[in-house]
């Protein structure tokens, strides 16, 4: 399956490279420009590193670092110079790329956004992180759902970001919308290592879906990110894993979306995403097609409430130095800031 990290590429294979990028310090516009150049250089390294690579993936915070700085001076726009540089880098190196930006939001806190750009420089996927890592992160919660695109070799690809992957509903939504490969970019540090590993595997197995996952790497003098590039097959087995913590290492593997499609069609035992809506089909024709989950019903009704709701102590970002918010979550705004 792995093809020696993508060195031996099969006709139906998609070769993914996960960049365990060195964690930067970005405070000024000059820092931002320098880090943009660094990422563009690493696009080139990915292409030189492996001529068979189809998609190079950069971690969350690869452009801005882990400072949580919301200074408008260093926030990005889709039509800004940083994204333009990434688009050119993909064209120049004839490769698809996945990138992270902290995006200016004229109506509130910045968005933590992810982009997938094709080898012609077109933005094919634009995603706003649905679940910021609260109470630590100040980003506006995403409001445009989870897009799924057709990527290299026709593979159906989704992107989620960091803490998103701790919610099984996120991976399930990706697969439900057709994703065969789910990318998860992150800036996680060492305390999350074990949770990172088993959620990446569970997200794959529970949805018969490849997951490709990568964190920032190295130290910025305050934080130590862990790298941990992981490519997990649809049966939950690890295809490739960056365990050394070496900054700027690119973890590579070939994945097979065609075998994902085959498993989703032919598996009986553990075809869980199908069986979710067809439970007990041996006993009753077609299975029980109902919604027995109270939490799902309550979320739709707007009445979701935990039994211990009133006892939760951390319910805003004040413990991490952020002011208590007063603004309610508003209607969806599908248009990015220009």
Per annotation, catalytic residue among 76, 90, 98, 129: 129
φ and ψ of 170, to 5 deg? -65, -50
Which residue stretches of 16-116 are H helix?
Answer: 29-49, 81-93
Per annotation, catalytic residue among 90, 98, 162, 174: 162
238 vs 32, 117, 194, 212, CA distance in Å?
A: 34, 26, 14, 10
Q: Which residues are 255's β-sheet partners?
A: 14
Is 60 an annotated catalytic residue?
yes
- DSSP symbol at 304: -
Is 228 an annotated catalytic residue?
no
**CB-count burial class (<10 Å; 0-12, 13-18, 19+) for 119:** middle
C-alpha 242: how far from chain center: 17
Q: What value, to the nearest 5°, has the Cα angle with vertex 183 and ends 275 and 242?
A: 115
C-alpha 92: how far from chain center: 24
27 vs 7, 61, 111, 174, CA distance in Å?
A: 39, 13, 18, 34
Is 103 an annotated catalytic residue?
no
Instruction: Point out the residues that are catalytic.
Output: 60, 129, 162
């Amino acid at each position: 399956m792995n093809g020696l990290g993508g060195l031996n590429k099969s006709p139906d294979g998609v070769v993914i490279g996960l960049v365990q990028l060195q964690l930067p310090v970005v405070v000024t516009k000059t820092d931002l420009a320098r880090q943009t150049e660094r990422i563009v250089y690493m696009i080139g390294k990915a292409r030189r590193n492996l001529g068979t690579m189809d998609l190079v993936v950069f971690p969350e915070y690869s452009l801005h670092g882990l400072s949580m700085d919301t200074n408008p001076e260093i926030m990005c726009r889709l039509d800004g110079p940083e994204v333009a540089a990434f688009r050119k880098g993909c064209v120049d190196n004839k490769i698809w790329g996945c990138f992270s930006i902290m995006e200016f939001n004229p109506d509130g806190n910045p968005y933590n956004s992810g982009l997938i750009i094709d080898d012609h420089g077109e933005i094919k996927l634009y995603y706003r992180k649905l679940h910021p890592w609260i109470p630590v992160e100040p980003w506006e919660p995403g409001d445009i759902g989870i897009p799924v695109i057709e990527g290299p070799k026709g593979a159906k690809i989704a992107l989620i970001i960091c803490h998103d992957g701790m919610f099984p509903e996120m991976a399930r939504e990706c697969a439900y919308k057709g994703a065969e490969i789910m990318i998860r970019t992150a800036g996680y540090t060492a305390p999350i290592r074990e949770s990172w590993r088993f959620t990446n595997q569970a997200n794959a197995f529970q949805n018969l879906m490849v997951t490709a996952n990568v964190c920032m790497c190295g130290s910025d003098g305050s934080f130590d990110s862990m790298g941990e590039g992981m490519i997990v097959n649809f049966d939950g087995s690890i295809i490739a894993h960056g365990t050394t913590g070496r900054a700027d290492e690119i973890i590579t593997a070939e994945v097979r979306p065609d075998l994902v499609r085959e498993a989703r069609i032919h598996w009986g035992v553990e075809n869980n995403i199908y069986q979710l809506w067809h439970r007990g089909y041996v006993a009753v024709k077609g299975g029980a097609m109902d919604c027995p989950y109270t939490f799902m019903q309550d979320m739709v009704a707007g009445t979701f409430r935990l039994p211990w709701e009133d006892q939760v102590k951390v319910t805003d970002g004040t413990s991490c130095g952020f002011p208590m918010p007063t603004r309610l979550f508003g209607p969806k705004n599908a248009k990015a800031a220009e």
